[in-house]
Amino acid sequence: MLFASTLYFDIMLVLALALLGDALPQPITARSNSDLSLTAQLRLADTAIERYQLLPNDSDFVFNFADTEDLPVATSQNWPALVGVGAAFSMSQLPACSMSFLHLHPRATELFALTSGHVLSEMVPQAGVLDNSKNSTNKQRVIRTDLRAGQVTIYPAGSFHTQVNPDCEAANFTAAFNSDEFAVSLVAEQLFAFSDGVVERTFGGSIAGEDVERVRSAIPVDMAIKVEECLVKCGLGKR
């Protein structure tokens, strides 16, 4: 009778949880917190049941990337329904002949999926992950992948990574993150935010004085970095 009693227990548990929903203290929607953003109210909600009450419209559960082309990421900041879900999503494209910033996500692992085009990906995992292939024993391991449509790669939280589109057409991708507020850290820009002395010592004195500022001001600020030899190959010229 083990099966039957387990089933009974499950039914009781479901009933108890359903009753708990009814017997909740005052729902958050009835309290005076209207100054808080919807995202903040959702974070303060006592239960998932209250969160559904704060999202009464079925359209609250749809995010439209066509409306957000300049920032193609859905996080709990611009899509409140993600609060409590522990996930975020991106849908975008890497233009022809471009490279994404060398970056990392401090709070999330990323699953990067290519839906069209071609992407060369490089990822450097945490310190101590070494390359044991014959010619480079004891060097930092670099994971290089050549992605085509239908393929997915993984960037564990905190790993450094970048993607290059070496072709003449845009590469379309989607990316899923296991945090609703995954955030981005930009390796070059943030490293060069340190004071000159720190930068000089970090690079063993190989750049110093005015060179530090020269490198700092040369760091690209466009969303995608141009890959010159590809632009020439594709006849795209400088854009």
Ligand X SMILES: *[C@@H]1O[C@H](CO)[C@@H](O)[C@H](O)[C@H]1NC(C)=O
Pair 187, 160: CB distance under 8 Å: yes
Taking CB under 6 A as the rule, does residue 57 contact ligand X?
A: yes
Pair 33, 44: CB distance under 8 Å: yes
For 51, residues 6+ apart whose C-beta sits below 8 A from its C-beta are 42, 45, 83, 84
- Considering only 47, 68, 172, 178, the residue that binds ligand X (CB under 6 A) is 172
For 47, residues 6+ apart whose C-beta sits below 8 A from its C-beta are 21, 24
* CA nearest to 149, candidates 176, 174, 175, 117: 117
Q: Nearer to ligand X by C-beta: 6 or 37?
A: 37
**Spatial separation of the C-alpha atoms in residues 74 and 33, rounded to whole Å:** 25
**Nearest-approach distance from CB 28 to ligand X, in angstroms:** 17
Evaluated on CA atoms 142, 123, 191, 130, the torsion sign reads negative
Q: Nearer to ligand X by C-beta: 85 or 170?
A: 170
**Nearest-approach distance from CB 57 to ligand X, in angstroms:** 4
**Nearest-approach distance from CB 65 to ligand X, in angstroms:** 8
| Joined tokens for residue 79 | 């899509």
**Spatial separation of the C-alpha atoms in residues 111 and 145, rounded to whole Å:** 13
**Spatial separation of the C-alpha atoms in residues 82 and 75, rounded to whole Å:** 7
Q: Nearer to ligand X by C-beta: 76 or 93?
A: 93
Q: Nearer to ligand X by C-beta: 108 or 119?
A: 119
* CA nearest to 109, candidates 125, 129, 121, 95: 125
Q: Nearer to ligand X by C-beta: 32 or 57?
A: 57
Q: Nearer to ligand X by C-beta: 65 or 194?
A: 65
**Nearest-approach distance from CB 172 to ligand X, in angstroms:** 4
**Nearest-approach distance from CB 59 to ligand X, in angstroms:** 4
Taking CB under 6 A as the rule, does residue 145 contact ligand X?
A: no
**Nearest-approach distance from CB 133 to ligand X, in angstroms:** 5
Taking CB under 6 A as the rule, does residue 64 contact ligand X?
A: no
The residue assigned the tokens 């970056």 is 103
Task: Please give the residues from 85 up to 144 whose contact with ligand X meets the rule CB under 6 A.
Answer: 93, 116, 133-135
| DSSP letter (8 states) at residue 12 | H
How many residues interact with ligand X (rule CB under 6 A)?
9
Question: Where do contacts with ligand X occur on this chain (CB under 6 A)?
Answer: 57, 59, 93, 116, 133-135, 170, 172
